[in-house]
Amino acid sequence: MTKITTAQKVPTASIDEPTVINYLKNNPEVLERHPEVLTQLTFPHESGNAVSLVERQLKLLREENKGLKNKLADLVHIARENEELGQRFHRLSLELMTVGQLHDIVAMTQDQVQTFFYTDYVSFCFHDELADRLEGLESNILDADSKHASKIRHWMQQRQPVFGPLDPGLGKLLLGEHHQMASCVLIPLYHTRDIGLLILGSKSKDRFHDGMGTVFLNQLGELISAKLKNYLS
């Protein structure tokens, strides 16, 4: 009698790869019962030599472990940055609590935001409807006759940060002699009405950009708005 082998019972051509893969995934104990199979499996190495399945698995695990370590390091870095940013907000809040005049609030904000948030330029652009309450701050009031006035009012109404760089005309209007800043962001200030914009500029093109998060920028705007509302609402 002719002995029928396993290969003869199940022709190789009749077994597709997904079937084998699914079977091994669902029955991992098969390889535990037949460890000799693992020792016989080899994979081509980049150098041309063959490596065992165990070596290949170790390499993959090392690469995965390295990737996880990098992700963890990134998360720790972000957590530290957020903690430091929270401390800066706290210091700014304390500083703002000590001032009681509009001019002092503006000056304090410009000084402290530039210091605490590593910004090269800080300024205000107040809504022109508030002009009668901004004596002495005329240079910070939106020029109602400017051809850019309607666009700037629209940004105020949107109540979302707007990132630069700005076109030359807008840049000169909002940043004055600092209009050549490599990047900037316009943060709306508002309470029950539009107050204006807090303008932050940087010499670095990577400091403010569309892809950055806006949570802290919005919170900064809310903090300054809360202090200004009693004087401009």
Q: SS3 for the chain, per residue?
A: CCCCCHHHHCCHHHCCHHHHHHHHHHCCHHHHHCCHHHHHCEEECCCCCEEEHHHHHHHHHHHHHHHHHHHHHHHHHHHHHHHHHHHHHHHHHHHHHCCCCHHHHHHHHHHHHHHHCCCCEEEEEECHHHHHHCCCCHHHECCCCCCCHHHHHHHHHHCCCEECCCCHHHHHHHHHHHCCCCEEEEEEEECCCEEEEEEEEECCCCCCCCCCCCHHHHHHHHHHHHHHHHHHC
pLDDT band at 149 (very low <50, low <70, confident <90, very high): very high
pTM of the model: 0.67
- Per-residue pLDDT tens digits for 58-103: 777 888 888 888 888 888 887 887 788 788 888 888 888 888 899 9
CATH H-level, domain 99-232: superfamily: GAF domain (3.30.450.40)
- Per-residue pLDDT tens digits for 163-194: 988 888 898 899 888 888 999 999 999 998 99
Lowest mean pLDDT among 51-55, 99-103, 148-152: 51-55
